[in-house]
């Protein structure tokens, strides 16, 4: 059976006794063992009613089994739908319902709380823990280690990743096998990944960065990953000497630089440090080079497009830029008002086209049409320009978005929640500079009666993932507005940005 993604990433390693996953306790999974476990998950999914094309929603802790579940989905021809482990039941309800997921796999400790939601959405509930316990793990344990791979083509849907929207409603970005495979191939070559590489993996595996960029590239190259459950400074420092490459969000790099144990000796075995998902300050790039002798390779991507641009492996890696477009990606900068292409050097909205660009938003044709042009160019919502060297520089965003520690936060979602609380007339949520997370969330609220700020915080706790919670809530008499009546968030950012 043909299944290009499965064959390229997993199937061809079916007999390889080389290491794939190195776990913090020293345990090693070979590629062969990983492929065998994936087959067990593929059987377990089928037995749970998952047919080809069904969505499998997954909110589980990072583990070797969690990655094997991803592989099992690909082998069974199911659509993998990973979810942030910080999401609350409210948030999950929307994703499971909107996607029409056939099964929802959660942590065993959450089964009781999430069962009613899954039942309402019509999804069978299974569980999997980081320690390989839970109903799905038990079912998988009893299965054969070979599975008749489902036939899929490069045009078929492989994954659904939800990204929040400016209207407050999340949209499921549909990623085809071609989207994932083409990007993995391009990046593996560009960044020179081989079977000799050992990637230090501390990113979450429910987003493009940790799942597709890091994992798919390592698999394609036949290399290994040191799989840490999360970013932890001591663990990073302990494992760096065994690694050859690392991928991280800028917070990883600023945190490493804050630790005096992190020096050139510790990084001596490394060949490549890559940063993305949020802007890396030029000062961080320079400080890192001064400390270690390594120039961080910054690249630029999105959930909808995978990676679009990258600084070169061999040529100059320029601080404050995200490099030229990838070889198979077309990039243009356009006038946001007219869509007309602008000359190099002029700031406008960044648009991209290529095999990396997604198929559209799940069951939202009108949203798709707003952002994905008929000619295949995707309007990223990022503002930037192409400099004289052909490198892209991102200068801002044309979308109301906060990026905190690499996580996207859409102010509208928080504003809708705050506005619905007793005593709130209206609110404006902004991102303000933060030394650790790059940006942090601040809410500016106008009261229309007695206002209990603690109750506002509690409402956020019940409904929103922790990383979205406003770190500060400021109560004001009125929000600044322009002559059109639009809230001037730039004025608020100026006012509260240095507080």
Report the interface residues with ligand AMP, using CB under 6 A: 163, 208, 276-279, 298, 300-303, 322, 380-382, 394, 397, 403, 408
Q: Which does 210 bind (CB under 5 to 8 A by kind): ligand MLC, ligand AMP, none?
A: ligand MLC
Which of the stretches 38-46, 120-128, 204-212, 454-462 binds ligand MLC when contact is defined by CB under 6 A? Answer: 204-212
Q: Of residues 301, 354, 360, 384, which one binds ligand MLC by CB under 6 A?
A: 301
Contact between 209 and ligand MLC by CB under 6 A: the answer reads: yes
> Residue 83: helix, strand or coil by DSSP?
coil
Output the six-digit token pair for 245: 């490459």
Q: Of residues 165, 210, 222, 360, which one binds ligand MLC by CB under 6 A?
A: 210
State the DSSP string of 4-19: HHHHHHTGGGTT--SE
Is the C-alpha dihedral spanning 315, 320, 326, 329 positive or negative? negative
Give me the residue label for tokens 């391009």.
186
Q: Which does 279 bind (CB under 5 to 8 A by kind): ligand AMP, ligand MLC, none?
A: ligand AMP
Q: Are 183 and 358 in contact (CB under 8 A)?
A: no
Contact between 277 and ligand MLC by CB under 6 A: the answer reads: yes
Q: Are 188 and 217 in contact (CB under 8 A)?
A: yes
> Residue 356: helix, strand or coil by DSSP?
coil
Output the six-digit token pair for 300: 């630029």
User: Whole-angstrom distance between the N-terminal and C-terminal Cα of the chain?
Assistant: 60
In angstroms, what is the minimal distance from the CB of 84 to ligand AMP? 11
- DSSP-assigned beta bridge partners for residue 333: 350
Contact between 171 and ligand MLC by CB under 6 A: the answer reads: no
| Residues making up the chain, counted from first to last | 499
Q: Which does 205 bind (CB under 5 to 8 A by kind): ligand AMP, ligand MLC, none?
A: none
In angstroms, what is the minimal distance from the CB of 97 to ligand AMP? 21
Contact between 309 and ligand MLC by CB under 6 A: the answer reads: no
Q: Which is nearer to ligand AMP, 298 or 371 (CB)?
A: 298
Rounded-to-integer distance, Cα 403 and Cα 421, Å: 25
Residues 397 to 436 in contact with ligand MLC, rule: CB under 6 A? 404-407
CA distances from 33 to 44, 159, 203 (A): 17, 23, 23
Crossing angle of helices 411-419 and 453-463, in 10° steps, is 120
If one counts every other C-beta atom within 10 angstroms of the C-beta of residue 422, the result is 12
Give me the residue label for tokens 């979450």.
204
Q: Are 428 and 411 in contact (CB under 8 A)?
A: yes
In 3D space, the residue among 161, 216, 207, 160 whose CA is nearest the CA of residue 187 turns out to be 216
* Strand segments (E) across 249-364: 272-275, 297-302, 306-310, 330-334, 348-353, 360-361
Q: Which does 172 bind (CB under 5 to 8 A by kind): ligand AMP, ligand MLC, none?
A: none
Q: Which does 322 bind (CB under 5 to 8 A by kind): ligand AMP, ligand MLC, none?
A: ligand AMP
Q: Phi, psi at residue 283, to the nearest 5°?
A: -65, -35
Give me the residue label for tokens 């949203």.
367
In angstroms, what is the minimal distance from the CB of 277 to ligand MLC? 4
- DSSP-assigned beta bridge partners for residue 175: 159
In angstroms, what is the minimal distance from the CB of 163 to ligand AMP? 5
Residues 222 to 251 in contact with ligand MLC, rule: CB under 6 A? 230-231, 249, 251
Q: Of residues 276, 348, 384, 470, which one binds ligand MLC by CB under 6 A?
A: 276
Contact between 467 and ligand MLC by CB under 6 A: the answer reads: yes
In angstroms, what is the minimal distance from the CB of 208 to ligand MLC? 4
The closest residue (CB) to ligand MLC is 405
Q: Which does 78 bind (CB under 5 to 8 A by kind): ligand MLC, ligand AMP, none?
A: none
How many positions of this chain bind ligand MLC (CB under 6 A)?
Answer: 22
Q: Which does 382 bind (CB under 5 to 8 A by kind): ligand AMP, ligand MLC, none?
A: ligand AMP
The closest residue (CB) to ligand AMP is 303
List residues near ligand MLC by CB under 6 A: 203-204, 207-210, 230-231, 249, 251, 276-277, 301-303, 404-407, 437, 466-467
């Amino acid at each position: 059976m043909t299944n290009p993604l499965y064959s390229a990433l997993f199937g061809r390693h079916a007999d390889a006794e080389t290491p794939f996953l190195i776990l913090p306790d020293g345990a090693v999974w070979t590629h062969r063992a990983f492929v065998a476990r994936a087959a067990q998950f593929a059987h377990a999914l089928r037995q749970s009613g998952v047919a080809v094309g069904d969505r499998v929603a997954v909110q589980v802790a990072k583990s070797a089994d969690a990655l094997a579940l991803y592989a099992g989905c690909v082998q069974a021809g199911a659509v993998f739908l990973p979810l942030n482990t910080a999401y609350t039941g409210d948030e999950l309800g929307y994703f499971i319902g909107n996607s029409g997921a056939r099964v929802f796999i959660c942590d065993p400790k959450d089964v009781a709380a999430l069962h009613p939601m899954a039942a309402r959405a019509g999804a069978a509930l299974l569980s999997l823990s980081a320690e390989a316990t839970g109903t799905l793990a038990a079912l998988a344990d009893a299965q054969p280690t070979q599975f008749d791979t489902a036939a899929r083509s490069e045009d078929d849907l492989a994954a659904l990743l939800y990204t929040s929207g400016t209207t407050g409603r999340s949209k499921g970005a549909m990623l085809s096998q071609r989207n994932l495979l083409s990007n993995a191939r391009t990046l593996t070559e560009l960044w020179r990944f081989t079977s000799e590489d050992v990637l230090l993996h501390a990113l979450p595996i429910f987003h493009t960065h940790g799942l597709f960029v890091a994992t798919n590239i390592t698999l394609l190259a036949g290399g290994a990953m040191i799989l840490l459950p999360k970013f932890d400074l001591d663990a990073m420092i302990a494992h760096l000497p065994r690694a050859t490459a690392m991928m991280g969000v800028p917070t990883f790099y600023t945190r490493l630089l804050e630790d005096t144990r992190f020096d050139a000796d510790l990084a001596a075995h490394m060949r490549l440090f890559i940063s993305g998902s949020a802007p890396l300050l030029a000062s961080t790039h320079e400080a890192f080079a001064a400390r270690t002798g390594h120039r961080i390779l910054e690249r630029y991507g999105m959930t909808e497009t995978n990676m679009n641009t990258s600084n070169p492996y061999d040529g100059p890696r320029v601080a404050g830029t995200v490099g030229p477009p990838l070889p198979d990606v077309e990039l243009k900068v356009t006038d946001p008002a007219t869509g007309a292409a602008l000359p190099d050097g002029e700031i406008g909205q960044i648009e991209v086209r290529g095999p990396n660009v997604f198929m559209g938003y799940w069951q939202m044709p009108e949203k798709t049409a707003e952002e994905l042009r008929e000619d295949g160019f995707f309007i990223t919502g990022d503002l930037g320009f192409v400099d004289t060297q052909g490198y892209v520089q991102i200068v801002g965003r044309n979308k109301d978005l906060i990026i905190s520690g690499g996580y996207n936060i859409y102010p509208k979602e928080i504003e809708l929640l705050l506005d619905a609380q007793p005593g709130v007339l209206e609110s404006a949520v902004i991102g303000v500079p933060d030394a650790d997370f790059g940006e942090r969330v601040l809410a500016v609220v106008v009261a229309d009666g007695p206002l209990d700020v603690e109750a506002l915080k509690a409402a956020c706790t019940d409904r929103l993932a922790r990383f979205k919670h406003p770190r500060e809530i400021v109560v004001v008499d009125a929000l600044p507005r322009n002559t059109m009546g639009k809230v001037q968030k730039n004025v608020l950012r100026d006012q509260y940005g240095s507080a």
